[in-house]
């Protein structure tokens, strides 16, 4: 009878076992275990997670969004979802669950089976800011939810009104120091990244600038353009039209380095050592989700992030594609949590 490669391999293992049977009880036990494992594989007995990953996905995947349609996580999720659908062979659908500062979306995720068919897309604020600002947060990062993929990064830009007479960040600092308490800045609300980015600058440079909170950039940017506030942080798409019409001027972004989209605008990381508060966006999963399924999603996200059309689409929205692993996103979240904790403490912001 002709021997197949599998039968030859099994014969070789058995022959080696016979030759080394005097090698000692530990070696003998190892060989017995290997033979037993091969027998189990041959009989179709595989770990459940391995079996799941080999066929995953077999039905549509849902990405739950913490923000309303058109927001940063929503934009990122929809651009990635289209390409993931093509690569995975199953629909990847986006479901917006805005409300309670992202809590509603997270509760929705945790109420579903941890089987890889429900994922969360959010920026880091759900875990780095919410627990610091709100007393009623019922979820906990790492206890209930784990990182799955680092999708994108989107720096915010500090814009000033022309009436200030400043054309760069150095001049803005000089004006704030010369006239303490007379300048104001608008934000997207108490506890927003826009708010905390400015508070971090104020603390680091000992500036006295009044905070005027609004309900989102949809209010703070018009207030800036109208001269009701002297400056504000906002996403690039919210500001670019007003920059072109010379109604506002960009003086810095809140990232560690300059963005390719606005290379002439300095990063706060160049001015204040260690400064990096650019929002990070990624996918997360319920804690009990099998790791092989998370790995599969992370691998596919990394491929999609390198597609020229994806990079272009994100760039138009002021977003930088990343496509990092679960570990890279977890590290970015850990770093953001550490930074935000210090900012909230230094700014004496109280929980609501």
Same-domain status, 203 and 342: no
pLDDT computed for residue 51 by the predictor: 55
- Yes or no: say if 286 and 109 are a contact pair by the CB < 8 Å rule: yes
pLDDT computed for residue 8 by the predictor: 39
**246 within some domain:** yes
Helix axes 291-305, 326-346, angle to 10 degrees: 90
Same-domain status, 202 and 61: no
H or E segment to which residue 6 belongs: helix 5-19
pLDDT computed for residue 100 by the predictor: 82
Same-domain status, 175 and 134: no
What is the longest distance spanned by two Cα atoms in the chain? 95
Separation CA 65–CA 81 (nearest Å): 12
Same-domain status, 162 and 261: yes
**14 within some domain:** no
**69 within some domain:** yes
Same-domain status, 287 and 145: yes
Same-domain status, 292 and 232: no
Q: Encoding tokens for residue 156?
A: 């915010």
CA distances 251 to 42, 173, 229, Å, are 65, 11, 15
In the DSSP assignment, the letter for residue 285 is E
- Yes or no: say if 196 and 346 are a contact pair by the CB < 8 Å rule: no
Write the DSSP assignment of 75-105 as a string of letters.
Answer: HHHHHHHHHHHHHHSS-EEEEE---GGGHHH
Same-domain status, 186 and 267: yes
In the DSSP assignment, the letter for residue 288 is T
Last residue of a domain, one of 217, 247, 271: 271
pLDDT computed for residue 33 by the predictor: 47
CA distances 201 to 176, 234, 273, Å, are 12, 15, 11
Same-domain status, 148 and 160: no
3-state secondary structure of 246: coil
**1 within some domain:** no
**7 within some domain:** no
Which segments of 81-230 are extended strands (E)?
92-96, 118-123, 145-153, 156-160, 184-187, 210-213
Same-domain status, 60 and 90: yes
In the DSSP assignment, the letter for residue 158 is E
Q: Encoding tokens for residue 12?
A: 């070789």
**222 within some domain:** yes
Last residue of a domain, one of 217, 250, 271: 271
Last residue of a domain, one of 221, 253, 271: 271
For residue 104, give the CATH number of its domain.
Answer: 3.40.190.150
- pLDDT tens-place values along the chain, 352 residues long: 444 444 434 444 444 444 444 444 445 444 554 444 444 444 444 455 555 567 999 999 999 999 889 889 999 999 999 999 999 999 999 999 998 888 999 999 999 999 999 999 999 999 999 999 988 888 999 999 999 999 999 999 999 999 999 999 999 999 999 999 999 999 999 999 999 999 999 999 999 999 999 998 999 999 999 999 999 999 999 999 999 999 999 999 999 999 999 999 999 999 999 999 999 999 999 999 999 999 999 999 999 999 999 999 999 999 999 999 999 999 999 999 999 999 999 988 888 7
- Yes or no: say if 218 and 232 are a contact pair by the CB < 8 Å rule: no
Listed residue (183, 340, 169) closest to 270, CA to CA: 169
Domain count, the chain: 2
Same-domain status, 247 and 295: no
Q: Residue 91: which domain range?
A: 56-154+279-346
Q: Encoding tokens for residue 124?
A: 């880091």
**351 within some domain:** no
Separation CA 60–CA 144 (nearest Å): 23
Listed residue (102, 89, 80) closest to 324, CA to CA: 80
Separation CA 167–CA 161 (nearest Å): 10
Same-domain status, 174 and 262: yes
Chain segment 68-103, per-residue pLDDT in tens: 898 899 999 999 999 999 999 999 999 999 988 889
Model pTM above 0.95: no
For residue 249, give the CATH number of its domain.
Answer: 3.40.190.10
**47 within some domain:** no
pLDDT computed for residue 241 by the predictor: 96
Same-domain status, 169 and 242: yes
């Amino acid at each position: 009878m002709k021997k197949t490669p599998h039968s030859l391999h099994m014969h070789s293992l058995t022959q080696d076992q016979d030759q080394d049977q005097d090698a000692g009880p530990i070696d003998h036990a190892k060989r017995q275990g290997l033979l037993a494992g091969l027998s189990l594989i041959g009989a179709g007995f595989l770990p459940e997670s391995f079996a799941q990953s080999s066929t995953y996905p077999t039905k549509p995947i849902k990405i739950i969004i913490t923000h309303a349609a058109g927001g940063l996580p929503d934009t990122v999720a929809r651009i990635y979802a289209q390409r993931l659908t093509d690569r995975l062979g199953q629909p990847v659908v986006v479901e917006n669950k805005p409300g309670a500062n992202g809590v509603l979306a997270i509760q929705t995720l945790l109420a579903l089976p941890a089987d890889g068919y429900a994922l969360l897309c959010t920026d880091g604020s759900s875990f780095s800011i919410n627990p610091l600002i709100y007393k009623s947060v019922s979820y906990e990062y790492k206890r209930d939810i784990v990182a799955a993929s680092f999708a994108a990064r989107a720096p915010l830009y500090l814009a000033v009104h022309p009436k200030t007479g400043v054309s760069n960040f150095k001049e803005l600092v000089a004006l704030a120091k010369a006239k303490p308490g007379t300048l104001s800045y608008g934000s997207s609300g108490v506890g927003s990244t826009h708010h905390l980015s400015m508070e971090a600058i104020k603390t680091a440079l000992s500036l006295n600038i009044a905070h005027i909170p609004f309900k989102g950039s949809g209010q703070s940017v018009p207030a800036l353009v109208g001269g009701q506030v002297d400056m504000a942080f906002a996403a690039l798409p919210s500001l670019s039209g007003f920059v072109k019409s010379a109604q506002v001027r960009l003086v810095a972004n809140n990232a560690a380095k300059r963005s390719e989209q606005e290379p002439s605008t300095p990063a706060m990381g160049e001015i204040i050592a260690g400064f990096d508060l650019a929002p990070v966006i990624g996918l997360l999963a319920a804690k009990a989700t099998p790791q092989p399924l998370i790995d599969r999603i992370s691998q596919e996200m990394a491929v999609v992030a390198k597609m020229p059309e994806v990079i272009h689409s994100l760039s138009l929205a002021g977003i930088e594609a990343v496509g990092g692993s679960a570990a890279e996103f977890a590290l970015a979240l850990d770093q953001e949590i550490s930074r935000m904790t210090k900012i909230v403490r230094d700014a004496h912001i109280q929980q609501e």
